[in-house]
Amino acid sequence: MTNHRRSIRSLSAEEITKLLVANGFPAFRTKQLLQWLWNNHATNFSEMHNLGEALTRFLEEHFFIDRLNIQSTQVSKDRTVKCGFQTLDGEVIEGVLIPTSSRMTACISSQVGCSLSCLFCATGKLKLKKNLSPGEIVDQVVLLEQIAQERYQQGLSNIVLMGMGEPLLNYNNVLQAMELLTDPNRYGISPKRITLSTAGIAKMIRKLGDDQVRFNLALSLHAADDDKRSEVMEINQSNDLATLAAALLYFYEKTETRITFEYILFKDFNDSIEDAAKLAAFAKCVPCKINLIEYNPIDAGRFQRSDDITTEAFKAFLERKNMIVNVRRSRGKDIDAACGQLANKIHQS
């Protein structure tokens, strides 16, 4: 479909300026082009009426605009909205709009599929097909924002990269998307309203620190015991808890941003008081808060959700250890939009 053409939205302003000047076009056209791409959400170059015929023709010959289209929409009884987004090359990703009394959160994806194969996650059962471009990442926010305004007359308050894929394995594109979303001249979202969730890749967590990112970081922990964590998260075999603890401390020292630990409670696997004690000990490695998450079943999954009594006992133990703890209740379970369920019903072949 795109032949030799390149995605224009994957280029930085500097790269665009260099290309334009090298081909005889004035540098000021970059600002106009970026305005069309990111502020006006142009879907094709012919819409860009102030660029001139010669530049429009050059852009059409050498570039394409990789916009997403909404393929499907499902609305939960709790008002959560799940969207299937189709990429220009026909792949499908999912994003979720999560409304609560105090927040309007967009949960977005960073990859088509995932390579990490965590046992409790439906996306992990899919093969990794491709990294999303910066534009495809930003588009999810733009489209979910439109739905929030149309359906609930409210704008987005938060963005979480907790959808399909591992964001740190698409590092450059994710960071470029975050720069666009937080740019005051583009979308102007506060970086403190954005949270990137990772399964735990130590060297990339350190790189986030070196790059002094301003958004929040969450680690999908789910066990504070190497044997248990390796059982459910293969990535732990190459990024064990001691290695992750050192990387997280490095990140905190560089950014002064508190870490969030995400911990799904699985019945009779990681929900005992002994498990809580190990979590409390590990969490002391860095200033943090802990989110305890209800498990959401996926097809043919081996796990069950911890009961409420066990969950409350687990939470109470952590609080006695002076931990900041929240219990995250699942949203959108009836449309497979809850944590770990994305892609549960699509493209499982």
Given the residues 83, 107, 118, 339, select the one marked as catalytic: 339
CB count within 10 Å of CB 70 equals: 15
Active site residue 114: no
Contact call for residues 174 and 110 (beta carbons, < 8 A): yes
Q: Order the strands of the 194-198 sheet from edge to edge.
A: 69-75, 81-86, 92-99, 104-107, 158-161, 194-198, 216-220, 259-265, 288-294, 325-328
The per-residue b/e assignment along 175-189, b for 16 or more CB within 10 angstroms, e otherwise, is: bbbbebbbeeebbeb
Separation of alpha carbons 131 and 66, rounded Å: 13
Separation of alpha carbons 243 and 226, rounded Å: 11
Contacts of 303 (CB under 8 A, 6+ apart): 119, 120, 266, 267, 269, 295, 297
Given the residues 94, 145, 166, 294, select the one marked as catalytic: 94
Separation of alpha carbons 153 and 150, rounded Å: 6
Separation of alpha carbons 293 and 325, rounded Å: 11
Separation of alpha carbons 169 and 20, rounded Å: 31
Active site residue 60: no
CA 310 to chain CA centroid, nearest Å: 29
Give catalytic residue positions. 94, 339
